[in-house]
């Protein structure tokens, strides 16, 4: 099989996330590139949660709606997702769950009734090991040798390993082979979430301190940094609130440390006064801003691209802003380093934008695909005398002033950084270009939509244009990318076309909008159908 997708679903608390990672590790071991899409409710137990694990011979960054295998821990999973099954596919579940669905399956949609509950009872195993039964059955369905599963279990399931293996073996023996997921005989790659990759980029860039209050979708940046603090030589701090986060971050920055803080939109609302303080006091800091649907609490565990306008205009007053929106793990790794360097050199606050889809998605990370443009080392801030900071207008020595002429000079000094930064950024690829470079029709996208847009563009033979730096706006590079384009279609996860408005402000007209704002990311199938409608025809 060149490509296939597996959906595993159940209730929150059933261990779906862990199970999906184990499945991904097994397929990764066979040499497949992996992408995992996750959906879960904002509750600890109950509700419906699922993951789609997509495996491919080529690198993938997005999920498909249709799946080859559906692993169900409860009836709700079947009722919700049975429509996803491909014409040739398999449904795997306990016979009590699966029985009523047999009449709805097509001729080549196989139902495999695996006695999960019986196996768990006979093996005296914890209920959560039901996942292992299904994973064992999945391995047999895909034609994967038992040895591959066993090796992954012994590495990834360190608690109750033998019990998990015993129930998985029974699931394996109870299933039958339907597909052939051949061993590709390629080295496996690191499987990391976008948040973990971004964290590694910050560490690579010279980060000293990471401070955050846990807030979806960037909570696991904090968890990842804390778990590896000793290995990375980091200080990782969890204050009492987002206001505490930004102020503590500025305090650490004042001492000369390289600092990043993490939050989502609601938390960044609380940080904006401190964000403006960073600009006035010229204290370098990087803000990792994870977008999710709003307003207010919105859909706290779902995804969106609704905070671009907020990030571009956050904080009172006029000052140099540097806002970056990487589109995949490799870009997150690279631009996190650029963010730290720019913050330190120009003594400004920097925002790195991500979202739930990018941050919590799991990818095969290819370090060789990271931009190899050299990022300068962080400048050393020498303190030969007292260094004063001030939230009030002040002179070059940090002394408070209300003098008109001095105020004018200092304002011009702060704003002059924009032009200087923009000139230095010219050495980096700030606008990605993909697909058919000669196409007269182009997709305009940003952030986590990069992957799905690049994949779908192949079906329509289109160009893809992806701004990464949002401000200082890379007008020159975008103009070059737009050469020969007669029709521009913006694809965004929001209801108002925020990137379309931004490029419009710089003289680039968007002809069509393809928007999605239900809290879910575009799937390959979904975007392909929407683009077919927009283009007035089918894919090639």
Does residue 439 lie within any of the structural domains?
A: yes
Q: Which is more confident, 539 or 499?
A: 499
What CATH number is associated with residue 506? 3.40.50.920
Given CA atoms 208, 214, 217, 220 in this order, what sign does their dihedral have?
A: positive
CA dist list (Å): 38 to 158, 172, 251, 355, 382 = 23, 25, 36, 13, 46
Please tell me the total count of domains within the chain. 3
CATH number at residue 268: 3.40.50.970
For β-strands 463-467 and 431-435, DSSP reports them as antiparallel
- Residues near 385 by beta carbon (within 8 Å), at least 6 away in sequence: none
pLDDT band at 100 (very low <50, low <70, confident <90, very high): low
Mean pLDDT for the stretch of residues 41-66: 92
What pLDDT is attached to residue 540? 42
Q: Are residues 414 and 275 in the same domain?
A: yes
Is 266 a domain residue? yes
Let me know if residue 185 belongs to a domain: no
Is there a domain that residue 181 lies in?
no
232 shares a domain with 95: no
Domain of 122: which CATH number? 3.40.920.10
Q: Is residue 289 domain-shared with residue 405, that is, in the same domain?
A: yes
User: Of 425, 451, 485, which marks where a domain is finished?
Assistant: 425
Regarding whether 170 and 262 lie in a shared domain, the answer is no
**Residue 279: both structure tokens together:** 């600009």
Q: Same structural domain for residues 374 and 314?
A: yes
pLDDT, tens digit (0-9, with 9 covering 90-100), for 196-229 = 999 999 999 999 999 999 999 999 999 999 999 9
Q: What percent of the chain clears pLDDT 70, i.e. is strictly above it?
A: 98
On average, the pLDDT of the chain sits at 95
Residues 201 and 144 in one domain: no
In whole angstroms, give the CA distance from residue 219 to residue 145.
Answer: 36
Q: How far apart are CA 74 and CA 69, in angstroms?
A: 15
Q: Which of 365, 392, 381, 7 is nearest to 187 (CA)?
A: 365
Q: What is the pLDDT of residue 386?
A: 76
Residues 436, 421 share a domain: no
CA atoms of 533 and 540, how far apart (whole Å): 14
Domain boundary among 391, 425, 459: 425
Tell me the pLDDT band of 1, cut-offs 50, 70 and 90.
confident
Least confident of 87-101, 233-247, 348-362: 87-101
- 421 and 439 both lie in a single domain: no
The domain in which residue 440 lies consists of 431-535
Structural domain contains residue 7: yes
Would 184 be classed as within a structural domain? no
Does one domain contain both 383 and 473? no
Domain boundary among 104, 139, 174: 174
Length of the chain: 540
Task: Return the pLDDT at 520.
Answer: 96
Q: pLDDT tens, 366-401?
A: 999 999 999 999 987 666 667 789 999 999 999 999
Q: Is the pLDDT of residue 490 over 60?
A: yes
Mean pLDDT of 338-357: 98
Residue 275, in any domain of the structure: yes
Query: Both 230 and 147 in a single domain?
Result: no
Residues sharing a CB contact under 8 Å with residue 66, sequence separation 6 or more, in sequence order = 5, 84, 85, 86, 525
| Same domain (yes/no): 419, 436 | no
Is 540 a member of any domain? no
| pLDDT 10s digits, 134-177 | 999 999 999 999 999 999 999 998 888 999 999 999 999 999 99
Is the omega angle on the peptide bond into residue 295 within 30 degrees of 0, that is, cis? yes
Question: Do 338 and 375 touch, CB atoms closer than 8 A?
Answer: yes
Q: Do residues 334 and 477 share a domain?
A: no
Q: What is the mean pLDDT of residues 223-241?
A: 97
- Identify the pLDDT of residue 99: 75
């Amino acid at each position: 099989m060149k490509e296939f997708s597996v959906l595993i679903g159940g209730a929150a608390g059933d261990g779906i996330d862990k199970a999906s990672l184990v499945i991904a590790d097994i397929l990764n071991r066979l040499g497949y590139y992996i992408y995992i899409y996750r959906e879960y409710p904002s509750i600890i137990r109950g509700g419906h949660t699922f993951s789609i694990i997509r495996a491919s011979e080529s690198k993938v960054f997005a999920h498909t709606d249709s799946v080859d295998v559906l692993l169900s821990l409860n009836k709700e999973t079947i009722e919700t997702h049975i429509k996803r099954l491909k014409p040739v596919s398999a449904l795997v579940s306990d016979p009590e769950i699966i029985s009523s669905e047999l009449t709805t399956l097509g001729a080549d949609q196989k139902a495999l009734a695996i006695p999960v509950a019986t196996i768990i009872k006979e093996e005296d195993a914890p209920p959560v090991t039901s996942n292992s039964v299904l994973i064992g059955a999945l391995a047999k369905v895909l034609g994967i040798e038992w040895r591959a599963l066993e090796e992954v279990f012994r590495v990834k399931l360190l608690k109750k390993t033998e019990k998990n293996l015993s129930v998985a073996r029974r699931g394996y023996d109870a299933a039958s082979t339907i597909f052939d997921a051949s061993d590709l005989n390629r080295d496996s790659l690191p499987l990391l979430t976008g948040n973990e990759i971004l964290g590694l980029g910050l560490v690579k860039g010279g980060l000293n301190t990471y401070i955050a209050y846990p807030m979806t979708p960037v909570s696991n940046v904090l968890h990842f940094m804390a778990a590896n603090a000793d290995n990375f030589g980091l200080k990782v701090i969890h204050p009492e609130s987002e206001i505490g986060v930004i102020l503590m971050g500025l305090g650490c920055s004042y001492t000369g440390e390289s600092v990043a803080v993490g939050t989502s939109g609601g938390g960044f609302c609380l940080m904006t006064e401190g964000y403006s303080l960073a600009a006035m006091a010229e204290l370098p800091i990087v803000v990792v801003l994870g977008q999710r649907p709003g307003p207010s609490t919105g859909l706290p565990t779902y995804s969106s691209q609704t905070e671009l306008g907020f990030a571009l205009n956050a904080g009172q007053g006029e000052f140099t802003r540097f806002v970056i929106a990487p589109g995949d793990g490799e870009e997150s790794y690279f631009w996190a380093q650029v963010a730290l360097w720019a913050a330190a050199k120009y003594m400004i606050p920097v925002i790195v934008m991500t979202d739930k889809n990018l941050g919590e998605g799991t990818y095969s990370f290819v370090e060789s695909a990271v931009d190899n443009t050299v990022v300068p080392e962080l400048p050393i801030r020498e303190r030969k005398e007292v260094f004063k900071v001030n939230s009030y207008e002040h002179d070059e020595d940090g002394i408070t002033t209300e003098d008109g002429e001095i105020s004018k000079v200092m304002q011009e000094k702060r704003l002059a950084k924009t032009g200087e930064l923009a000139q230095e950024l010219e050495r980096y690829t700030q606008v990605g270009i993909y697909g058919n470079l000669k196409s007269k029709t182009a997709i305009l996208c940003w952030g986590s939509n990069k992957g799905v847009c690049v994949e779908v563009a192949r079906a329509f033979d289109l160009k893809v244009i992806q701004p990464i730096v949002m401000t200082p706006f890379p007008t020159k590079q975008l103009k070059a990318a737009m050469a020969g384009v007669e029709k521009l279609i913006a694809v965004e996860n929001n209801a108002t076309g925020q990137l379309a408005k931004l490029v419009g402000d710089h003289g680039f007209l968007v002809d069509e909008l393809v928007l999605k704002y239900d809290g879910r990311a575009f799937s390959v199938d979904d975007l392909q159908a929407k683009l077919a409608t927009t283009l007035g025809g089918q894919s090639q």
